[in-house]
Structures are given as structure tokens and as C-alpha cells.
Amino acid sequence: MTDQPHGVVPPRGPEESERTLHYAGPATFGRVPRLDEVENTDIAVVGVPFDSGVSYRPGARFGGNAIREASRQLRPYNPAQQVYPFHFAQVADAGDITANPYDLNEAVETIEAAADELLGTGARLMTLGGDHTIALPMLRAVARRHGPVALLHFDAHLDTWDSIFGAQYAHGTPFRRAVEEGVLDTSALSHVGIRGPLYHQNDLAEDAKLGFGIVTSADVMRRGVDEVVQQLRERIGERPLYISVDIDVLDPSHAPGTGTPEAGGLTSRELLEIIRGLSDCRLVSADLVEVAPAYDHAEITSIAASHTAYELVTIMSRQMGPARWGAK
């Protein structure tokens, strides 16, 4: 879909941080306006408080609001990407999608329909989960507008298993379903941060058959961020890109508040730097999932998640806004 200009009214960003209390007022993402407070939206931040697809610790249904609370500290200027993201595009908080917590099939359909409606306005989505089950309906809706998309998947786990306890929809299966349904460009699929034990040695062979390349957390440590970024950029090329971040890609020391933690993960600095290195890629939407705040009373996980979402929003903003708004 071609982005259309919305007129001459500049985007409405967060209230001036020097004149507001970060700990007071509505907890929208980054203190941006709500969707109903603006006429048009370029990037909709939407929550999906759903975690019925988890296989270990529950609690990611509370992740979206924990990320919003942590994002109160975000500021209007992003020095790492050298832009004012909220000046470049209209970012608005779209609230939460209500999905049936007792019926996985119905929940997936509901999430897809809601994402389709938001994307139909011309907005790109920054989705706050929720568990990783939500990636499948999001990808379906995005592919309906862009065709099969490249996928960059940050995670400790493959999430390409065929089923969990016989369930086709669960947080360990979304990307197998997405390949089967033809919503992914199988020439440009990458996992980053994979580590830890598997059910079978064949899990890796099955994953490769689906088209995925793997950058392990050890690869990032040994080869360095810059080399990994270059490899990912070459694989993605000019294709429309969807980024899916499971916060358990981070080491438990950087993200204890998640459902299935694994030792030996990325640092938050490595994750942020890899994402920043992809700023020229054609990012059409993204999700960030599996933040379970009950296991992290120090809010380390939600802070890392809020900064990760901020970098993703910044990439989408800088691609959508300058020509439209004349932003600097």
C-alpha cells in the first residue's frame, strides 16, 4: 500500500517532557495521544493482552500495559538514530484488542480482524503482546497489504514447531503456520538469538526446510553486532520487513520477566544495536511479545521492551514522515 499524505497538520506528539510529570497522567506508549484524539494515524501502537497460547509461565497478558508504564521515561529525541520520531509521523496508542482467552481459534481470528481494520487506515502497527501466538494473525493482516513479507524473528526459541499438545495455534507454532499459509517470503527468513536445548535434533532440520537462517546468541557474541547486521541486511534486501521480538531473546539477567527464559541470551545493548543497524530496511510493522511483569518486580524487562519498541517505532517513523511533514 502506498502511504498517502494526510494534509498539512503536523503530527501531535507527547506533551513536552520538561513540562509534564512522567509518573502522572494516562499511560499511553511514550505518552503519545490516543487513537481517538488524532484525525489520522501513521503508526498505531496496539496491545494484545492474550497469553492462552503459552507452554510454561503465564502472565504476558499484562505485558502491554507494563511496557506502556515503562515507556513514560521515553523522550522525544532519539540520539541513536538522530531523529525526532514523533515529529516525523503521527504515532497514536490504539488501546488493546480484546481476544477470547478461552478459545485459541477464535482469539486468532479476532486479532487478525482487528489488525486488518487498523492497517486499513494506512497505519503501520507496533503491537505489544501478549504471547507469541499473536504474531500469526498480525502477519496475515500485514501480508494482505504487502504480499509475503521478510521476517526477522528475535527469540531464544524457533517457534516453528508443528503443534503443542495437538494445538495448531500456540506460542511455539506461529511461524510454521505463517510459512504454510504463504504470508512469509521464504527467501528472507531469519531467527536471531536462538539458543538452549531442543526437543529433537531434527527440529533444526525442519526449521531449515521452512527457509529460516539462524544467528545464535553465541554468533552475536563471537562475530559482533556489525557483522550480524550486515548479514541480515543482505538477506532482507528491499523486501517489506516484519520484525517480531520475543523479549526472551535477552539473557534472563536483562529480561527476567518472561515466560520461558533461557540462559546465554543477548544483552539489551546488543538487541538495540542490531535493530538500529536495520534502520534503512523497509519495516512495515512489528510486534514485541512475552513480557510477563509478575516475574520482574524491578521492571528491568519492561524497560528493555519499551526501548526496543521505541527503536522500532523510530524506524517506521523516519521512513514514513519526512517527505510528508517536512520534518527535520
Q: Confirm or deny that 132 is annotated as ligand binding.
A: yes
Amino acid occupying residue 230 = Q
Q: Quick count: other Cβ atoms within 10 Å of Cβ 205?
A: 9
Cβ-proximal residues to 300 (8 Å cutoff; 6+ apart), any chain: 254, 255, 256, 257
Of 88 and 242, the one with more pLDDT: 242
pLDDT band at 242 (very low <50, low <70, confident <90, very high): very high
Instruction: Specify the pTM.
Output: 0.94
- Domain ranges in the chain are 17-325
What value does the CA radius of gyration of the chain take, rounded to a whole number of Å? 18
Half-sphere exposure of 275 (CA within 13 A, CB side): 33
CATH 3.40.800.10 holds for 17-325: yes
HEC per residue, the chain: CCCCCCCCCCCCCCCCHHHCCCCCCCCCHHHCCEHHHCCCCCEEEEEECCCCCCCCCCCHHHHHHHHHHHHHHCCCCECCCCECHHHHCCEEEEEECCCCCCCHHHHHHHHHHHHHHHHCCCCEEEEEECCHHHHHHHHHHHHHHHCCEEEEEECCCCCCCCCECCECCCCCCHHHHHHHCCCEEEEEEEEEEECCCCCCCHHHHHHHHHCEEEEEHHHHHHHCHHHHHHHHHHHHCCCEEEEEEEHHHECCCCCCCECCCCCCCECHHHHHHHHHCCCCCEEEEEEEECECHHHCCCCHHHHHHHHHHHHHHHHHHHHHCHHHHCCC
Residue 93, annotated ligand binder? no
Q: How far is CA 122 from CA 5, 115, 138, 141, 145, in A?
A: 10, 11, 15, 12, 10
Longest dimension (CA), the chain: 57
d(CA 30, CA 69): 9
Q: Residues 254-286: pLDDT tens digits?
A: 999 999 999 999 999 999 999 999 999 999 999
Q: Which residues contact 159 (CB under 8 A, 6 or more apart)?
A: 132, 135, 153, 171, 172, 173, 174, 175, 176, 246
d(CA 162, CA 173): 6
Tell me, what's the pLDDT at 20? 75
Give the rounded percent of residues in the chain with a pLDDT score beyond 70. Answer: 94
Instruction: State how far the Cα of 286 lies from the Cα of 67, in Å rounded to an integer.
Output: 15
pLDDT digits (tens, 9 = 90+) for 52-108: 999 999 999 999 999 999 999 999 999 999 999 998 899 999 999 999 999 999 999
Q: Is 146 annotated as a binding residue?
A: no
d(CA 215, CA 241) in angstroms, rounded, equals 17
Asked if residue 251 belongs to a known ligand binding site, the reply is: no
Please tell me whether 248 is known to bind a ligand: yes
Of the CA atoms within 13 Å of residue 49, those in its CB half-sphere come to 11
pLDDT digits (tens, 9 = 90+) for 154-193: 999 999 999 999 999 999 999 999 999 999 999 999 999 9
Q: 116 among the known binding-site residues?
A: no
